Structure 1
Amino acid sequence: MKKIKYIGLSLVLAMGFVSCEDWLEVNDNPNTPTQDVASLESRLPWIEHHYGYAAGAAGFRAGFINGTITSRKGVSTLATNLHNYMPYWDASNGISTTPYQHWFVGAACNLEDLIKKAEEEGAYHYIGVAHVIRAMGFMLMTDWYGECPYTEALGAYLTPKYDTGQAIFEGCLADLDLALPYFDMTQEPNATPLKSGDSWNDGDVAKWKALVYGLKARWLNNLSKKSTLYKPAEILSAIEKGPKDYSTSTIVNHVNDPGDTGTDALAGDPLKTSFLFDCAAWSDHIRMTKYYTDLFEYPQTDGSIVYDPRREKMLPMNEHYKNGKSYFMVTAGVDIINSDILNNSGPAQQTYNASTKSYSVSTAGREGDTIYVTLKGVCCKQGGAADESFYQGADGTILSTGTFYTLPESPTHLMTSYEMDFIKAEVLFRQGDKGGALTAYKNAIKGHLDFMNTKLKSYGTNNNPGKNPISQAAIDEFLASGCIAQAVNELTMAEIMKQKFIAMSFSQQNWNDMRRFNFSAGNVGDFGVVYPDFDRPKSIRATAASQKFPGATKVDNSYWWRRMAHCSHEVNFNAKNLKESNSKATDNDIWSVSVWWDVAE
């Protein structure tokens, strides 16, 4: 992939010249983009950016698979493959391209030169970071594709061979071990400080070490189907060294900046906005599903409903009027599992009339689709204001508040203490320590609420109710209520994973977890159905059901979406190695073939 290497470097340099972001500046001559041009402090933030975009794009697209989102009708853009095929599980190669491009072209191709430059300077912390990000990127690729180029991926090979998923997995763990000693080294006197180029952890090596152990815990826990490789003690040990709270977690803080006029050369998006905004909320295409919105509702025996206090932050709302007064309505979820709405012109696009202050749908028979609120936000580059990133009408009516994770200024939670607690709860539950599992489970839920409120409080006074903090009284009431497990006999694996699914919304890990438990098949261990009410879309296209996901029932492995097929770059330019990597690599049903850790042993 040597050609990709220099294309990627050229993109990195070109983007550096148009950006006003301090992290993303390159001051060398743009007419001579060689591997020696970019300094450490200018190269690293671009590597971090492109890995982040790859992970954000993967998490967003996984949302179509794990039942979080769907698309409205009438999408006709460059993303047609994504919006007109994924909701129907009609998989095509085009839907898997973006994570691949941003990882290989934007990030991975610069790692070797970053390490070389850091070695010359004695900037050891940069070497550690390079190994961590290398591990993160290739783990994303093997979770995504199963097999892919790895040992030959970043060298001079035009057609690199593929490695097995297990080889990549083990290599990524080895990279984490390789990284750790570098964070303990004292850099040479004139070496570039990590703080000068680190847009994730601001040069804090303790947070990088916590990230390493958090990744170990996450990845080792993904081996839960491998009886000889799943080692609870190692997972728990890694958790103890992982992030403990907000201050030791790895969080990317994005901003909606009027000066953010540059664009990502690969995606054309702003440089400082959140990756999930760029992928999921740039336009009005996306809607939440009923499967997802139901997670925030707790029906009571008297017919009433108690709501999760995160509901108005995690789900979009829009503004309505009654008797001259405004109020906000939380979106309804599109029932793609039990209804055939996708094959009946829905959910249809709605319009807002500022004169009548009302919403309408012009598609006959779809008038009721005004209950589905778009995720759309508006960043400064699109004409929005820094403090008004919500989507609004001509009269200022808020047409969507957005969601906690998808506004331009939303944070990216790369590794958190609450994820560690959820993993701990799962591991202890498997071991039979239900009391310890309950404590970890409750700590995880509280942790996620606290993380959300830390960010929500930082927004200050805002006329977007989706960005107001959650009251402490509401948090305390929820944590003490029957909505969550309060006793050992109330705790189930399904409840642990439900709360983790909410907290990890829009992450690739949610799809990983669903695969580990065979979605809603209920045939893993004695846990029962871990994702109740989940199923394939009712509107799954006939050819997709018969050719790509041919399993007849939920307990058939091939009933479910288990991996991505490789994108056209590999199909067109590395076909021989692709075909040799897996006997089904180019077959229609590759999408339902398990990646290596998803095969029970």
Structure 2
Amino acid sequence: MKKIKYIGLSLVLAMGFVSCEDWLEVNDNPNTPTQDVASLESRLPWIEHHYGYAAGAAGFRAGFINGTITSRKGVSTLATNLHNYMPYWDASNGISTTPYQHWFVGAACNLEDLIKKAEEEGAYHYIGVAHVIRAMGFMLMTDWYGECPYTEALGAYLTPKYDTGQAIFEGCLADLDLALPYFDMTQEPNATPLKSGDSWNDGDVAKWKALVYGLKARWLNNLSKKSTLYKPAEILSAIEKGPKDYSTSTIVNHVNDPGDTGTDALAGDPLKTSFLFDCAAWSDHIRMTKYYTDLFEYPQTDGSIVYDPRREKMLPMNEHYKNGKSYFMVTAGVDIINSDILNNSGPAQQTYNASTKSYSVSTAGREGDTIYVTLKGVCCKQGGAADESFYQGADGTILSTGTFYTLPESPTHLMTSYEMDFIKAEVIFRQGDKGGALTAYKNAIKGHLDFMNTKLKSYGTNNNPGKNPISQAAIDEFLASGCIAQAVNELTMAEIMKQKFIAMSFSQQNWNDMRRFNFSAGNVGDFGVVYPDFDRPKSIRATAASQKFPGATKVDNSYWWRRMAHCSHEVNFNAKNLKESNSKATDNDIWSVSVWWDVAE
């Protein structure tokens, strides 16, 4: 992929010149850039950015698969946009292009030059970071595609061979081990400090080491179907060295900056806004599903409902008026599993009338769709304000508060201590230590609430109720309530994974976890149905059901969406190696073929 390497470098340099001159100090002629021009502190932020965008796009698109989101787009425009056909599980290889492009073209192709320059300077911490990000990117690709170019991907091969998923997995773990010693080394006196170029951890090598062990715990736990490879002791050991709290977690802090007028050369999005805003909330297409919104509701025996205190932050709300006073309505979830709403012109687009202060839908028969609130936010590049990025009407009415993870300034939680606690709860629950699992589970839920509040408190006074902190009283009441397991006999794997699903919303890992437990088939171990009420969309297109996901029942492997087909770049330009990588690589049902760690043994 030598060709891609130089394309990627030119993108990095071009973006640096027009958007972020402070990231790029150029002594050579900028009209004839070479791979030697970009400094360490200018190159690393772009590598981090493009990996982050790849992961954000993957997590967003996985949300259509794992039941988090759907789209208002109708079947009549099915072929024109991924927001149209993903809700129907009518898979097309176009949906897998963005993560591939941002990883290979924007990030991976620049790692070799970053390492080379770091070696010349004795900037050892940059070498460690390069190996970590290399591991993260290729693990994303193998979780996404199964087999893909790896050992030959970044060399001089125009048509690189494919490696098996297990080979890539093992190579990524080896990269993590390779990275660790570099973080313990003292950089040479004149070497570029990691702090100068690190947009993730601000040069804190301790946080990078915690990230390494967190990744190990996550990836090793993904082997839960592999009886000979699943090693609980190694996972627990990694957790002990992973992030312990907010201060040791890897969190990317984004901003809604009025000066952020440049655009990502691959996607055309702002450079400093959150990846999920760029992917999921720039437009008004996306709605939450009922499967997802139901996770925040706890029906009581008397018919009442207790709500999760995260509900008004994790779900979008819009402003309504009654008797001249405003109030906020939390979105309803679109029931794509039990209803055929997608095949009946819904959910329809709504409009807001500032004169009457009311919402309406012009599509006949869909008037009730005003209950579904868009995720849309507005960044400065679109005319929004830096401190208030919600979607507003002409009269200032808030048409969407956005969600905790999808506003322009929302954080990206790359690796957190609460994820470590969820993994620990799962591992020791499997071992039979239900008491220890209960403690880890409760710590994980509390951790996620604390992480959310840390960010929410940083917003200060604002007009968006979705950005206000959760009261400590509400947190304490929830943590002590019957909404979550309080005793050993109440804790189940389904409950652990439900709370993890909420905390890890919009992440690729939620899809990974669903695959590990066979979604709602209930045929993994003695855990029962781990994701109750989940199913394929009722409006799954007939061709998709018969050709791409042909399984007749939930216990059939091919009933579920288990991988992505390779994007058109590989299909068009590396077809021979693609076909040799998997006997079903170009078959219609490749989407329902398990990646290597998703096969039980």
TM range (shorter): over 0.9
Would the aligned equivalents of 2:77 and 2:84 in 1 still touch at CA under 8 Å?
no
Would the aligned equivalents of 2:25 and 2:39 in 1 still touch at CA under 8 Å?
no
- Residue 518 (structure 1) aligns with: 518
Q: Secondary structure at the match of 2:530?
A: coil
Q: Distance in 1 between matches of 2:398 and 2:544?
A: 38
Q: Distance in 2 between matches of 1:185 and 1:225?
A: 37
Q: Distance in 2 between matches of 1:349 and 1:88?
A: 18
Q: Distance in 1 between matches of 2:142 and 2:56?
A: 16
Q: Distance in 2 between matches of 1:36 and 1:152?
A: 23
Q: Secondary structure at the match of 2:318?
A: strand
Kindly state the Cα deviation for residue 78 of structure 1 after the two structures are TM-superposed.
12
TM-score norm. by structure 2 comes to: 0.99
Kindly state the Cα deviation for residue 17 of structure 1 after the two structures are TM-superposed.
1.3
Structure 2 matches for 1:82-231, cutoff 5 A? 82-231=82-231
Q: Distance in 2 between matches of 1:140 and 1:409?
A: 24
Would the aligned equivalents of 1:9 and 1:33 in 2 still touch at CA under 8 Å?
no
How many matched pairs? Answer: 601
Would the aligned equivalents of 1:81 and 1:94 in 2 still touch at CA under 8 Å?
no
- Residue 271 (structure 2) aligns with: 271
Q: Secondary structure at the match of 2:328?
A: strand
Q: Distance in 2 between matches of 1:585 and 1:554?
A: 23
Identity %, equivalent residues: 100
Kindly state the Cα deviation for residue 79 of structure 1 after the two structures are TM-superposed.
9.3
Question: Residues 246-266 of structure 1, C-alpha deviation per residue, up to 9 Å, x if partnerless?
Answer: 000000000000000000000
Q: Distance in 2 between matches of 1:454 and 1:136?
A: 26
Would the alpha carbon gap of residues 27 and 483 (structure 1) be closer, same or farther in structure 2, given more than 3 Å must change?
Answer: farther
Would the aligned equivalents of 1:17 and 1:26 in 2 still touch at CA under 8 Å?
no
Q: Distance in 2 between matches of 1:320 and 1:36?
A: 57
Kindly state the Cα deviation for residue 31 of structure 1 after the two structures are TM-superposed.
1.6
Question: Which range moved further: 25-34 or 519-528?
Answer: 25-34
Q: Distance in 2 between matches of 1:578 and 1:30?
A: 38
Q: Distance in 1 between matches of 2:462 and 2:155?
A: 50
- Residue 69 (structure 1) aligns with: 69
- Residue 567 (structure 1) aligns with: 567
Question: Residues 224-253 of structure 1, C-alpha deviation per residue, up to 9 Å, x if partnerless?
Answer: 000000000000000000000000000000
Structure 2 matches for 1:442-461, cutoff 5 A? 442-461=442-461
Would the aligned equivalents of 2:75 and 2:343 in 1 still touch at CA under 8 Å?
no
Kindly state the Cα deviation for residue 23 of structure 1 after the two structures are TM-superposed.
4.8
Q: Distance in 1 between matches of 2:120 and 2:51?
A: 24
Kindly state the Cα deviation for residue 75 of structure 1 after the two structures are TM-superposed.
9.4
Kindly state the Cα deviation for residue 448 of structure 1 after the two structures are TM-superposed.
0.1
Would the alpha carbon gap of residues 44 and 287 (structure 1) be closer, same or farther in structure 2, given more than 3 Å must change?
Answer: same
Kindly state the Cα deviation for residue 33 of structure 1 after the two structures are TM-superposed.
2.3
Two-structure CA RMSD over aligned residues (Å): 1.3
- Residue 586 (structure 1) aligns with: 586
Would the aligned equivalents of 1:75 and 1:285 in 2 still touch at CA under 8 Å?
no
Would the aligned equivalents of 2:390 and 2:407 in 1 still touch at CA under 8 Å?
yes
Would the aligned equivalents of 1:280 and 1:375 in 2 still touch at CA under 8 Å?
yes
Question: Residues 515-560 of structure 1, C-alpha deviation per residue, up to 9 Å, x if partnerless?
Answer: 0000000000000000000000000000000000000000000000
Would the aligned equivalents of 2:68 and 2:288 in 1 still touch at CA under 8 Å?
yes
Kindly state the Cα deviation for residue 57 of structure 1 after the two structures are TM-superposed.
0.0
Would the aligned equivalents of 2:254 and 2:410 in 1 still touch at CA under 8 Å?
yes
Kindly state the Cα deviation for residue 204 of structure 1 after the two structures are TM-superposed.
0.2
Question: Residues 414-454 of structure 1, C-alpha deviation per residue, up to 9 Å, x if partnerless?
Answer: 00000000000000000000000000000000000000000
Q: Distance in 1 between matches of 2:75 and 2:416?
A: 35
Q: Distance in 2 between matches of 1:120 and 1:356?
A: 67
Would the aligned equivalents of 1:448 and 1:503 in 2 still touch at CA under 8 Å?
yes
Would the aligned equivalents of 1:23 and 1:199 in 2 still touch at CA under 8 Å?
no
Would the alpha carbon gap of residues 363 and 24 (structure 1) be closer, same or farther in structure 2, given more than 3 Å must change?
Answer: farther
Kindly state the Cα deviation for residue 73 of structure 1 after the two structures are TM-superposed.
2.4
Would the aligned equivalents of 1:65 and 1:511 in 2 still touch at CA under 8 Å?
yes
Question: Which range moved further: 80-89 or 476-485?
Answer: 80-89
Would the aligned equivalents of 1:257 and 1:272 in 2 still touch at CA under 8 Å?
yes
Q: Distance in 2 between matches of 1:24 and 1:459?
A: 30
Question: Residues 286-324 of structure 1, C-alpha deviation per residue, up to 9 Å, x if partnerless?
Answer: 000000000000011111100000000000000000011
Q: Distance in 2 between matches of 1:483 and 1:23?
A: 48
Kindly state the Cα deviation for residue 80 of structure 1 after the two structures are TM-superposed.
3.1
- Residue 430 (structure 1) aligns with: 430
Would the alpha carbon gap of residues 77 and 122 (structure 1) be closer, same or farther in structure 2, given more than 3 Å must change?
Answer: farther
Would the aligned equivalents of 2:286 and 2:375 in 1 still touch at CA under 8 Å?
yes
Would the aligned equivalents of 1:16 and 1:25 in 2 still touch at CA under 8 Å?
no
Would the aligned equivalents of 2:286 and 2:374 in 1 still touch at CA under 8 Å?
yes
* Structure 1, unpaired ranges of 5+: none
Would the alpha carbon gap of residues 511 and 132 (structure 1) be closer, same or farther in structure 2, given more than 3 Å must change?
Answer: same
Kindly state the Cα deviation for residue 83 of structure 1 after the two structures are TM-superposed.
1.1
Q: Distance in 1 between matches of 2:78 and 2:53?
A: 18
Kindly state the Cα deviation for residue 29 of structure 1 after the two structures are TM-superposed.
3.5
Would the alpha carbon gap of residues 27 and 429 (structure 1) be closer, same or farther in structure 2, given more than 3 Å must change?
Answer: farther
Would the aligned equivalents of 2:78 and 2:85 in 1 still touch at CA under 8 Å?
no
Would the alpha carbon gap of residues 109 and 424 (structure 1) be closer, same or farther in structure 2, given more than 3 Å must change?
Answer: same
Kindly state the Cα deviation for residue 412 of structure 1 after the two structures are TM-superposed.
0.1
Q: Distance in 1 between matches of 2:468 and 2:13?
A: 39
Question: Residues 309-367 of structure 1, C-alpha deviation per residue, up to 9 Å, x if partnerless?
Answer: 00000000000000110000000000000000000000000000000000000000000
Would the aligned equivalents of 1:389 and 1:408 in 2 still touch at CA under 8 Å?
yes
Question: Residues 484-533 of structure 1, C-alpha deviation per residue, up to 9 Å, x if partnerless?
Answer: 00000000000000000000000000000000000000000000000000
Kindly state the Cα deviation for residue 74 of structure 1 after the two structures are TM-superposed.
5.0
Kindly state the Cα deviation for residue 585 of structure 1 after the two structures are TM-superposed.
0.2
TM-score norm. by structure 1 comes to: 0.99
Would the alpha carbon gap of residues 122 and 577 (structure 1) be closer, same or farther in structure 2, given more than 3 Å must change?
Answer: same
Q: Distance in 1 between matches of 2:80 and 2:49?
A: 25
Q: Distance in 2 between matches of 1:27 and 1:247?
A: 37
Q: Distance in 2 between matches of 1:117 and 1:45?
A: 15
Would the aligned equivalents of 2:75 and 2:342 in 1 still touch at CA under 8 Å?
no
Question: Which range moved further: 19-28 or 590-599?
Answer: 19-28
Q: Distance in 2 between matches of 1:388 and 1:231?
A: 47
Q: Secondary structure at the match of 2:590?
A: helix
